[in-house]
Amino acid sequence: MTKIVGLTGGIGSGKTTIANYFKELGVPVYIADDEAKKIMNSDDVILKIKNKFGEDVLEDNKVNREKMAQIVFSNPEKLKELNKIIHPEVKKHFKNWLNSHKDSKYIIKEAAILFESGSYKDCDYIITVVATLESRIERILKRDNTTKENVLKRIKNQWSDDEKVAKSDFIIHNEDVKEALIKTYQIHNLLNNI
């Protein structure tokens, strides 16, 4: 049976770099955040979001992710409401995707909020990518058109690295990319032989 390996880490930790390396190694990788973005703009989900958050979060009948982020990252209750709409849909989508990869030894499910969403419970193993707060902030500011204040708000809505590490089977320290990729390759070999 295909093993589900959760890959997580705080925003800016470098999860995408690690996920892409697993892809290079021939491992099927499911990027939950990318799928959630697609699902967020499906007709039935747009309707649910509109009913819960109002017309203001829509632009050209699509969810304006920037406006939505401003609402949910400054109000934990609103974030929970959004997650109640999105997470069941992503879970359904993942189940179908997993079915199409049932011949793989293992797959990677990359999710920023693997723990927060509770989906870590469906994983056989968990890999957490960690980096210093300074590195994470610097990476996000380079990558996204945002402010340090917004970055810190988003970080505050995620579990701390210590909480994630305590529940993980493997830890990848991603300060030096070369070392992080070596560690990833070692984990890949271990998972192939379990």
- The answer to the question of whether 183 is labelled as a binding residue is no
Task: Point out which residues pair with 4 in neighbouring strands.
Answer: 107
Known binding residue 13? Answer is yes
pTM value is 0.89
Tell me the average pLDDT across 65-90.
89
**Local confidence band at 74 (pLDDT 50, 70, 90 cut-offs):** confident
The residue-averaged pLDDT of 40-44 equals 91
Predicted pLDDT at 156 = 86
Model pLDDT, residue 22: 98
Range of the domain at 140: 3-192
- Would the annotation count 10 as a binding residue? no
For position 89, what pLDDT does the model report?
A: 93
The structural domain count of the chain equals 1
Q: Determine the pLDDT at residue 2.
A: 95
Residue 24 burial class via C-beta count within 10 angstroms: exposed 0-12, middle 13-18, buried 19 and up: exposed
Is 102 labeled as ligand-binding? no
Tens of pLDDT, residue by residue over 113-163, are 899 888 999 999 999 999 999 999 999 999 988 899 989 988 888 899 999
Tell me: is residue 14 an annotated ligand-binding position: yes
- Residue 67 in marked binding region: no
3-state percent breakdown (helix, strand, coil) of the chain, nearest 5 = 55, 15, 30
Q: What is the model's pLDDT at position 26?
A: 97
For residue 177, give the CATH number of its domain: 3.40.50.300
Instruction: Identify the band that residue 1 occupies on the pLDDT scale cut at 50, 70 and 90.
Output: confident
Q: How far apart are CA 22 and CA 90, in angstroms?
A: 21
